Structure 1
Amino acid sequence: MSLDNTPEQSQLGRSSAYADRYDPTLLFPIARATQRAAMGIADDALPFFGADLWTAFELSWLNPRGKPQVAIAHITVPCETPHIIESKSFKLYLNSFNNSVFADAAAVRDTLRADLAEAAWRGSGRSGGIGVKLLTPELFDREPVHELDGLDLDRLDIECTHYQPAPELLKSDTTQPAVTETLTSRLLKSNCLVTGQPDWGSVQIRYSGPAIDQAGLLAYIVSFRNHNEFHEPCAERMFRDIWERCQPTKLAVYARYTRRGGLDINPFRTSWPQALPLNARTARQ
């Protein structure tokens, strides 16, 4: 496979035959650097730490006696991997497990780890891990549903006139003492870069520094409404715009998108090293 895959070359928006026998070649990596460069983010000098937290709700395989098994997978892709994995290819890959025999859940987990790491780091001359945690049915009841913590920006009665990213809406008050606060919104919407299909999400913004104008921040979040971009660069664009326009001393942006095809993608970007957030789905996910 070429190392310069583009979104247009992927299976997005095309009719696809669903393979039901294990096939890791279905994974389609896309370089992060292209969209980062368009935002002025150097891939070799990232201004953030973080990861993309995926949840796979449709995972099944056969045990050695041919009996179907099911699980939920939590997958952690570090933001420094040179590639994202295009989501439809991920779905096709997971479906290829359906009629394949694995000794047990641990074997499935180890296979996912190896294949996803190979795709995410492919051709870079670097290597690294991909986190995979499998939850079997006896653990399903422990899966939390929790809304993002923070002050709800959606309470504000604002006029919205921008539906493409408008960083000029962002501002902070440097004349007042610095604050530390967490702000949230459920009004995030963007569109798939290739198909134009809507991607619905919630976003949490934690920061320290000059107080960010909340009305302007909400209008900025809404301004993504007609924007075509994958989930991961949307979160990175938010991080970059808030960092440059509002000049916080600390910033973390966490977006949780509703699932499509049994997968949700939840990018987290932070200006300082910290533990990743709990991969807990919101009610809409």
Structure 2
Amino acid sequence: MSSNIDTPSQIPEASPLGKAVTYCDHYNPSLLFPIPRQQKRDEIGVAAGKLPFMGVDIWNGYELSWLNSKGKPQVALAVFTIPADSPNLIESKSFKLYLNSFNQTRLDSVTALRELLVKDLSQAAGASVGVQILGVDRFEGQKLAELQGHLIDVLDIEVDQYSPNPDLLGLQLSAEEDGEAPVEETLVSNLLKSNCLVTGQPDWGSVQIHYVGQQINHEGLLRYLIGFRQHNEFHEQCVERIFTDIMRQCKPIKLSVYARYTRRGGLDINPFRTNFPQGLPENTRTARQ
């Protein structure tokens, strides 16, 4: 089988999102729809070639199936890691359609499947994409766990803004006035909700923010995160906006932002951005995923 993906600059409105489609159940890599990252990065002031962060987008696929050489169906889970410095993200519905195109495709081995996935996804993203296939023998080992850190959702606050406002972010007054020594904190919220950039459908998520620096005001941070509730952007773009807004408003020495979004169409997307070297975060499903 040959891969044939064309990767011109494409806009979200031209993607399969929100459109009726005919599902293809035979291998078709042309279904993948790459979207350049830079346009949205321009909006948040991130210049091309000067990323203030590194990281990955971790995708989990729960509906991967194909036929073996004898025509017998096979099933597996899959983990895809797309580097944050890839020029393109991959639109999620097109990703789903592409994976479904393996449903009636005969392959000689799991290795052959993985090689096709790596080749096609890397070409669409414009960078090397990691692919891990988890067979049925590894299903039992899959775990659920919540993001670790101090849960700020318990704060009793009033909220009247539902679009992201960076001015809500700031430091604790004592940190601003006294120049207190840097703190290290991990803060968590399950109240992240945004909407699909094209369809407006809701995307639900949890976010973990780890930083070293002057202490961030927790109430302001929670109001800011709730502010994404009526905001239209893809998952990856929301996380990059959160990262850059916190960096500009609070100026931490170190910062990482990790979001776990609930799945849609058998896929969940979990973007991770950081400004300091570290291992990848745990790819463990939360209860809502």
- State the TM-score, normalized to the length of structure 2: 0.95
Residue of 100, 107, 116 corresponding to 2:121: 116
Aligned match of 2:129 = 130
Across the aligned residues of Structure 1 and Structure 2, the Cα RMSD in angstroms comes to 0.8
Residue of 50, 57, 60 corresponding to 1:55: 60
Aligned match of 1:125 = none
Runs ≥4 residues deviating over 4 A:
none
Separation in 1, partners of 2:160, 2:48: 33
Residue 150 of structure 2 aligns to which amino acid in structure 1? L
Aligned match of 1:156 = 155
Residue 129 of structure 1: how far off its partner (Å): 1.5
Question: Can you give the 5+ residue segments of structure 1 that lack an aligned partner in the other structure?
Answer: 122-127
Deviation string 1:246-276 (CA, Å, 9 cap, x unpaired) is 1100000001100000000000000112111
Maintained 8 Å contact 2:7/2:34? no
Residue of 73, 76, 79 corresponding to 1:74: 79
Q: Which structure 2 residues correspond to residues 142-181 of structure 1 after superposition, within 5 A? A: 142-172=141-171, 173-174=175-176, 175=178, 176-181=180-185
Residue 93 of structure 2 aligns to which amino acid in structure 1? K
Aligned match of 2:46 = 41
Matched, 1:239 2:238: no
Deviation string 1:143-187 (CA, Å, 9 cap, x unpaired) is 121100000011111111110001111001332221001000000
Aligned match of 1:9 = 14
Residue 82 of structure 1: how far off its partner (Å): 0.1
Aligned match of 2:96 = 91
Residue 43 of structure 1: how far off its partner (Å): 2.4
Residue of 192, 203, 217 corresponding to 2:207: 203
Separation in 2, partners of 1:4, 1:270: 26
Residue 47 of structure 1: how far off its partner (Å): 0.2
Maintained 8 Å contact 2:161/2:227? yes
Deviates more, 1:194-203 or 1:38-47: 38-47
Separation in 2, partners of 1:282, 1:43: 33
Matched, 1:187 2:186: no
Matched, 1:249 2:253: yes
Residue 276 of structure 1 aligns to which amino acid in structure 2? L
Aligned match of 1:215 = 219
Residue 2 of structure 1: how far off its partner (Å): 5.8
SS at match of 1:60: strand
Aligned match of 1:124 = none
Residue of 259, 264, 268 corresponding to 2:268: 264
Aligned match of 2:3 = none
Residue 42 of structure 1: how far off its partner (Å): 1.1
Deviation string 1:96-142 (CA, Å, 9 cap, x unpaired) is 00000011212111111110001111xxxxxx411100000110111
Residue 159 of structure 1 aligns to which amino acid in structure 2? E
Residue 73 of structure 2 aligns to which amino acid in structure 1? P
Residues 69 and 148 of structure 1: CA distance in aligned 2, closer, same or farther (over 3 Å) = same
- State the TM-score, normalized to the length of structure 1: 0.97
SS at match of 1:252: strand
Percent identity reads: 56
Residue 225 of structure 2 aligns to which amino acid in structure 1? I
Residue of 96, 100, 108 corresponding to 1:103: 108
